[in-house]
């Protein structure tokens, strides 16, 4: 895991060497997991104090093998800004009409619930060209039926998150691009039957497509290492999406291609849809 952390720092610091401006665009949008960020990649941004985000996300994933199978996942998330630089979120995911790996007569299946907290401990510093940094901790509760469990007793995901903006000067205006990175590990049920230890690395860029920065293009790279979760496994993924951010809501649509790194496991394509309300 120490090599993953080293890679995170080596990759992120040169990118953020010219950072300037605020990290957020209109408000801090949320990832599909709950904490604020891009689609999969978290940021050091947090919701403003006493601000609430309610988000529904949907993922349709299909493999690329000779026997096409698919899974549909629906998740409801609530995120709350507790104080400046601190937010809390909770997510309830459901697996719908799946046909991957697991045999079950049930059509709708509750998955493991997760609760996340994120703390931004370092603000972006334009004088020294430093990005903002934070820590994100997610705890997984085993609520799913045994066939659908990711964790048997407990699971945690700990990430170091970082984000900043580059203000690209133009003759008549400035163009702000956001850079995001997170890296860390997932641990579950150590010494148990579902023991899991794998590394996580995500990198992302946010390109505003209009002067008001409401419409944004998102590009991400996502990687897991030593991942033995049946419906995931090791993968290198590329994600692209569009996000519309207004004051009180946002809408996101994206596509992801996962290249499975284990032999004999088919690559997958995913459609991601997300809608959020903020008040």
Asked if 39 and 72 touch (Cβ cutoff 8 Å), the reply is no
DSSP state of 18: G
Residues 39-52 have pLDDT tens digits of: 999 999 999 999 99
Number of other CB atoms surrounding residue 168 within 10 Å:
12
Residues 172, 41: Cα–Cα separation, whole Å: 31
Q: Which two tokens stand for residue 181?
A: 């990175």
How crowded is residue 101: how many other Cβ atoms within 10 Å of its Cβ?
11
Looking at residue 78, its pLDDT comes to 97
pTM of the model: 0.85
So what's the pLDDT on residue 146?
A: 67
pLDDT at residue number 273: 97
Tokens of 236: 């290198």
Distance between CA 75 and CA 34 in Å, rounded? 10
Q: How far is CA 166 from its chain centroid?
A: 21
**What does the block give as tokens for 251?**
């809408």
Alpha-carbon distance of 35 to 23, in angstroms, equals: 15
The pLDDT score that the predictor gives to residue 66 is: 55
Distance, CA of 34 to CA of 103 (rounded, Å): 28
* Joined tokens for residue 33: 């997991």
Residues 6 or more apart whose Cβ sits within 8 Å of residue 170: none
Q: Residues 45-50: contacts with CB within 8 Å, 24+ apart? A: 45/120, 45/132, 45/163, 46/81, 46/84, 46/85, 46/86, 46/87, 46/118, 46/120, 46/134, 47/79, 47/80, 47/81, 47/87, 47/278, 48/81, 48/84, 49/81, 49/82, 49/83, 49/84, 50/80, 50/81
pLDDT at position 15 = 44
Instruction: Map residue 146 onto helix, strand or coil.
Output: helix
Spatial separation of the C-alpha atoms in residues 126 and 149, rounded to whole Å: 44
Q: Is residue 156 within 8 Å of residue 138, measured between CB atoms?
A: yes
Residue ranges in the chain modelled with pLDDT below 70: 1-27, 64-69, 97-108, 146-148, 169-174, 230-231
Strand partners, 144: none
The CA-atom distances, in angstroms, between 139 and each of 91, 127, 148, 200 are 11, 36, 17, 15
Q: Is 37 exposed, middle or buried (0-12, 13-18, 19+ CB in 10 A)?
A: buried
Phi, psi (rounded to 5 degrees) for 12: -80, -40
């Amino acid at each position: 895991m120490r090599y993953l952390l080293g890679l995170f720092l080596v990759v992120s610091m040169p990118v953020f060497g010219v950072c300037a401006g605020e990290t957020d665009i209109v408000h801090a949008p949320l990832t599909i997991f709950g904490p604020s960020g891009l689609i999969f990649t978290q940021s050091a941004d947090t919701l403003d104090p006493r601000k609430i985000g309610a988000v529904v996300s949907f993922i349709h994933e299909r493999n690329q093998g000779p026997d096409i199978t698919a899974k549909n996942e629906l998740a409801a998330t609530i995120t709350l800004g507790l104080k400046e630089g601190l937010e809390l979120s909770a997510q309830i995911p459901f697996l719908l009409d799946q046909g991957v790996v697991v045999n079950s007569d049930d059509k709708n299946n509750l998955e493991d619930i997760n609760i996340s907290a994120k703390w931004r401990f370092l603000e972006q510093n334009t004088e020294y060209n430093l990005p903002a940094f934070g820590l994100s901790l997610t705890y997984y509760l085993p609520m799913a039926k045994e066939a659908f469990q990711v964790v048997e007793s407990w699971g945690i995901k700990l990430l170091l998150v970082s984000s900043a903006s580059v203000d690209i000067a133009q003759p008549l205006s400035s163009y702000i691009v956001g850079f995001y990175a997170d890296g860390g590990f997932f641990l579950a049920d150590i010494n148990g039957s579902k023991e899991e230890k794998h590394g996580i690395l995500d990198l992302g860029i946010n390109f505003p497509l209009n002067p008001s920065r409401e419409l944004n293009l998102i590009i991400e790279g996502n990687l897991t290492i030593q991942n033995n979760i049946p419906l995931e496994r090791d993968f290198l993924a590329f994600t692209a999406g569009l996000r519309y951010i207004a004051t009180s809501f946002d809408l996101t649509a994206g596509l992801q291609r996962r290249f499975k790194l284990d032999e004999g496991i088919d690559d997958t394509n995913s459609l991601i849809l997300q809608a959020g309300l903020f008040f």
